Structure 1
Amino acid sequence: MKKNLDDSRSRNDSTVDLIGVGFGPSNLGLAIAIREYNESQESDNRITARFVESKPTFGWHPGMLIPGTTMQISFLKDLATQRNTTSRFTFLNYLAEHGRLNHFVNYQTFFPTRIEFHKYLEWAANQVDADVDYGSRAVEILSAGDHFEVRTVGSSERMLKARNIVMAGGLTAALPDGVTPTSRQFHSHNLLFDLAELPPIRHNSFIVVGAGQSAAEVVRYLHATYPEAEVHSVFGKYGYSPSDDSPYANRIFDPVAVDDFYSSAPHVRKQLLNYHRGTNYSAVDLPLIEELYAIEYAERVQGPRRLFVHGASAIVDTHEDSVGVSITLEHRPTGLTETILNDAVIYATGFKPMDLPSILGPLCDRDDFHSNGPTVTRDYRLVTTVSCGGAVFLQGGTEHSHGLTSSLLSNIAVRSGEILQAVVSQSAPSSAPHISSP
């Protein structure tokens, strides 16, 4: 809905209870929790919230919506179910409203396709009707007595006011040191968009760097999409490692596991992260590993060879010119090298967290963020370096204190309820109702 100039000025001048920085799944879950809380309250007790999002519209990794790829978490870990099973913002209600509930039940799966889950998130973003400034990026947050001031840039520069801040800026694609993105070398995060802009194919060869789920999905997609091309998968491990999604291991993603992790001694936290990194990092679903191996083996039997998995290997030299990218690979155990001329190199090399210190400035200690991690209370409140009238909450960047669910979808619903409860309690400590979670 467009607002006139007077409306815009009024919105900019007013102090809201909460400004959410970023409007991806995490703060979308928070917006849903706020809406459901407000619907149960008198107008004087309702929480006012505003969100700023740098993207022009809502989107969740649109460049990786590869057909056929599925979610790695249950649909029950949606934006609301674990906080409020009767919410109208659940994935099941989305299915019902689109006439697909019975069809999904007959599908007999806990894991919808990534495309369908993205459509669910888009639907939820439209249904919640939150106050979101799209195309606006927060660049500075200042403490101003009893509130914060948030400087944003976009079509114009604005200064917004809020009593609390919730940082959910998400993750940024990380390229290996020395790699500059070009039209032929890019991160897998924007795969579909970058492939659409790829210069003419001359060599029918691609290299994919990385050993995680995204890397394996890119390898499969390229092999199927370019039937004349070779696809070379390169990583430091000897082979892909299967992700541990067994029932007991998955308890690390339960809401109660956050309590366990937070209350643990630092050395226990480190142990737990090391024990269970295989549930999330640099690991691939076993059926996909088996599918890729079957493809490679079949090509060994009857040819032609198009899929090549270079384990225990690394890129030692790269040269790009107008017609392609020349890559020299080294097999680490033997030291043997080979040079391959490619049309593109795709780096599925993970992500790095949002640079919060650059936005928070004197509110935080930059050294803490880059050493042991910032001090965060159980309700995700950042312990700031200066006294503030309100609070800064972190949705992400708390793996060191809250465990593996810090930046994952698994705990969004419960985490949103906990942050909202903290905001409500701070706004009305003597009479704030409790927001229940399972």
Structure 2
Amino acid sequence: MALAPTTKAVAGALPVGQNSPQNPAHGLYTEKLSGTSFTAPRHDNQQSWLYRILPAAAHSDFEEIDMSTSRTHLSSEESRLRQIPNQIRWDPFDFDDTVDWVHGLNLVAGAGDPVLKRGLAIYVFAAGKDMGKEAFYSADGDFLIVPQHGVLDIQTELGRLLVRANEICVIPRGIRYRVMLPEGQVRGYICEIFQGHFQLPELGPIGSNGLANPRDFQAPVASYDRDETEWKVIAKFNNELFVATQDHTPFDVVAWHGNYYPFKYDLGRFNTLGSISYDHPDPSIFTVLSAPSDTVGTALADFVIFPPRWLVAENTFRPPWYHRNNMSEFMGLIAGDYDAKIGGGFRPAGASLHNIMSAHGPDARAHEAASNAELAPQKVGSGSMAFMFESYLMVGVSKWGLKTCQKVQHDYNAESWTPLRSRFDYDGMPKSGADGGFQ
């Protein structure tokens, strides 16, 4: 994000005029947290300076966790990815009251390799227990967390974030945190990107305002604990889990400043834009955050939402058109009904995947209703919030996502598009032919 907060929990904890004084105030240690290379261009450079009671390096060696005994499905046989062209839809994923945040992560789909810092992973999470005296971080990439149910009280090194359904949270690579559940069970979705960071999309001809505005993103303020008992630090490193111990809390940052930090955003503050004459704009008009690829104008991951909004276009089919896309589309539903899927199969806490060039669009019932609807200004999506993780990569599905979770709807295609019938008027038309020229 472009903002660069400055925050302290104790007066005088932030040095004045320099970042790393010989003897920081209050006996603190200086630590630099870098989210980009030191020499990245200024507009891309992300780093923060932390002033903490003990540096993050003060821990034992990391030991690999035996994943065969874990409920987490990240790197075992369950996570092997299969790339298939079929449209896939999942019933709502289950709650799991028996696990905490770390052990409630399940890989559904992904592409690429965190070792090479290329690609992404998509998870669903479900948990019912607080994390104990432990902190978790991913060295693989940034987590974009989309809660569907419940409240996440996220204690990060840089301060706390309380994240509810219809809000999102981004925790950048390497930042340590733990998740508490003040209202019990939680469930939702995560997109982890292995390269770059999420940023606001360029607005181009839209101008200086619209979509998600920078002022509505919230960063934590410095908040530290004093605890000199044993803690664990759990690292996600190339989709494996490792654990180290230390004799003090990881949450001991007394002050910090910079532009590399976790943040949250209320999706209800998104300023939707659309057509006021005819036809639909491309769905990119609903992009909240984007992680660019190396190809200009092409995203490793776009986070797109479909919130309540007015449709007013003249002589225009209201739901999205049928399409085949150069991007893979993973959709989830936080609440309500999605206007292009009225048949009942796409439900809150469920999901769908339409991979690269896999044809999709409104189901037969939605098409029939939209084709005969009165074309008047209409409010759609009231009480609803659907979203999409969109990527230029061909996304594979894990064994957990295809089989183990037992949520795949095997009648998705048959229910949605097989009932479509030809509407072509054959009367007076030749059986075949072409006009033999170009227009």
TM-score category of the 2 structures, normalised to the smaller one? under 0.3
Q: Which has the higher strand share?
A: 2
TM-score, L = length of structure 2: 0.25
